[in-house]
Amino acid sequence: MKNFIYSIIGFIFLTPIIIAQSGFEDADGKSSVILGEGGTGRINISDANIKVSYLYRNSKSYFRFGIEFTGKAENGFAPLFQNENIAPNAGGKISFGYQWILSKKPKGEPITSIFVDDWLTLQIGYNRAQYKLFFPNNAMSTQIQKQDFDGYNITGYYNILFKQNFFLGLSLGFNKENNYQSLKEIEITDKSIIIDSSGFQRSTNNTFKIREGTYKTSNHVLFNYDLIWVPDFMKDLIGIDIFGRYDKDPDNNNFTPGIGIFITQRGAPTQVIGGISFSYEQKELKIGFISGYNF
């Protein structure tokens, strides 16, 4: 409940001021949608991540190029409100794309095909994070240890825009991930006692949160799809996203279905200003808030 309240607070206060644009993301920041062109950025309150990207698209060339920078607080945005330390995770991605596979290259003529626009994108990324973990069975001096993580991902995307503002996104990728967020969070209090020459005692307490458990990394195969409709009767301002996320690792196979409602820019159904998503993951309902801006 506390994290949900902080998500609401962040959504209210950050929506009007952030220089960012949102894709059709779920609560975990996952999506199969790559923006058609231009500069974007987005903040996902629920997943505590911020992304800023730029995709270059030349109307005369079949090729596209892009770059993205990402930042994430692994223990959420809540510590920012509580004056606590965050667990940072930062990285970047580069993209290479090819467009007009099923659709036709624009020549200034009216579009008669059902396929308005489409593109393939290959995205390669790297991220680095540092965590603090608690090992209760160690000697006092080694109970708190730092853990570095180097992650990588490579994902292929296919996006296609149909007439009547239907949009389909498909992606297949391979990620190296860790289980930090699933570890148990505990609260530790360090006490110090100072005694002066007269025998006067003064004690100080330092309380902080940390995670404990068996930390491990694993390789994942990820498949995502998004089927998006921006109906005319809503004046091209509301996008409805029916999505699915399939995640396979050496131990588990998980499928997460969901639905999102997003506010889009008029005349640009793939560009989102903000929205909310609902997904059902491992018998739990997850709610995602996202906010953004196109530049």
- pLDDT tens track for 102-144: 998 888 777 788 998 999 999 999 999 999 999 999 998 899 9
pTM above 0.85, yes or no: no
Contact yes or no for 45/77 (Cβ under 8 A): yes
The confidence band for 20, taking pLDDT boundaries of 50, 70 and 90, is very low
Query: What pLDDT sits at residue 48?
Result: 80
The confidence band for 209, taking pLDDT boundaries of 50, 70 and 90, is confident
How far apart are alpha carbons 23 and 291 in whole angstroms? 9
For the chain, the residue count is 295
6, pLDDT greater than 50: no
Contact yes or no for 93/68 (Cβ under 8 A): yes
Query: What pLDDT sits at residue 9?
Result: 36
How far apart are alpha carbons 275 and 277 in whole angstroms? 7
Counting residues of the chain whose pLDDT is more than 90, the rounded percentage is: 47
How far apart are alpha carbons 38 and 43 in whole angstroms? 17
The confidence band for 2, taking pLDDT boundaries of 50, 70 and 90, is very low
Rg (CA), the chain: 22
Query: What pLDDT sits at residue 129?
Result: 92
Phi first, then psi: give them for residue 272, nearest 5 degrees. -110, 140
Coil, strand or helix at 164:
helix
Contact yes or no for 123/94 (Cβ under 8 A): yes
Q: How many CB atoms lie within 10 A of CB 35?
A: 24
